[in-house]
Structure formats: structure tokens, C-alpha cells
């Protein structure tokens, strides 16, 4: 278990990390492979079909509204970074809340120690 000082230090660290977060976006990116309508296309080869793709799709739900859209090739990497930043934001928030609970516990423990002296 962390003592009061350790908890306070970790909270300050989490706050700094939150401030350093770059652009963010909720959701996840998936790869899609498609079959086209062209006759005799490689995507319909009976022996070794090679589907078209990958196409990258971003899906997310925000404030109850779901959304899906395709990403242009140049948008994939920046969006991956944004999605990773969003995930990190959520982890940092969860950690801060946990530390808040821990801080309360550590403060009570310290007060008890003091009263006991
Ligand atoms: Zn095709």
C-alpha cells in the first residue's frame, strides 16, 4: 500500500500526463476486405480469391450515438494515435479516481496514527 506522500506524488504525475495528452478520438479502427461487382475479378477467383483492401474503418459511440466511417490511407496512422490517446485518457482518469480513494484511506490512516499518539 502507498503512503500519503506516494499517493500525492502519483496524483501529480497523472495530472502531468493528462496535460501532455495530444489529440484524441474515441473508437476503434478495423480492417475491411471487400468483394466487388466486376466479372472475373481476382476477388472472386474460385481457387484463390483475393479480396480488395484493406480498407480502414473507424467506429465509435459517443453520447449514445454510433458512427462508422472509412478512413483515407493518410488518416489511418493519425487516427490510431488519437484512439490510443483517448484510451490513455480513460486509463489516467480511472487511475486518478482510484488514487482519490487511496488518498482518502491514507489520510484517515494518518489521522488515526496522530490521534493515537
Ligand atoms: Zn474485385
Q: What is the DSSP string of 35-46?
A: --S-TT-GGG-S
| Distant-in-sequence, close-in-space partners of 90: CB < 8 Å, separation ≥ 6 | none
Average pLDDT, the chain: 95
Residue 53 Cα distances to 67, 72, 97, angstroms: 21, 12, 42
pLDDT digits (tens, 9 = 90+) for 41-80: 999 999 999 999 999 999 999 999 999 999 999 999 999 9
Distance of CA 91 to the CA centre of its chain: 8
Tell me what pLDDT residue 117 has: 60
Question: Is-above-0.85 flag for pTM?
Answer: no
CA–CA gap between residue 28 and residue 107 (Å, rounded):
39
Find the 47 Cα to ligand 1 centroid distance in Å. 14
Find the 52 Cα to ligand 1 centroid distance in Å. 6
Find the 71 Cα to ligand 1 centroid distance in Å. 20
Amino acid at each position: 500500500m502507498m503512503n500519503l506522500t506516494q499517493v500525492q506524488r502519483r496524483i501529480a504525475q497523472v495530472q502531468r500526463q493528462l496535460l501532455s495528452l495530444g489529440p484524441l478520438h474515441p473508437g476503434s479502427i478495423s480492417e475491411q476486405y471487400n468483394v466487388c461487382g466486376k466479372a472475373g475479378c481476382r476477388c472472386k477467383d474460385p481457387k484463390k480469391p483475393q479480396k480488395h483492401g484493406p480498407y480502414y474503418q473507424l467506429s465509435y459511440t459517443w453520447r449514445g450515438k454510433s458512427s462508422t466511417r472509412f478512413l483515407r490511407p493518410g488518416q489511418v496512422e493519425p487516427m490510431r494515435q488519437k484512439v490510443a490517446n483517448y484510451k490513455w485518457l480513460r486509463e489516467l482518469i480511472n487511475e486518478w479516481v482510484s488514487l482519490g480513494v487511496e488518498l482518502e484511506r491514507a489520510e484517515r490512516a494518518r489521522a488515526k496514527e496522530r490521534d493515537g499518539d
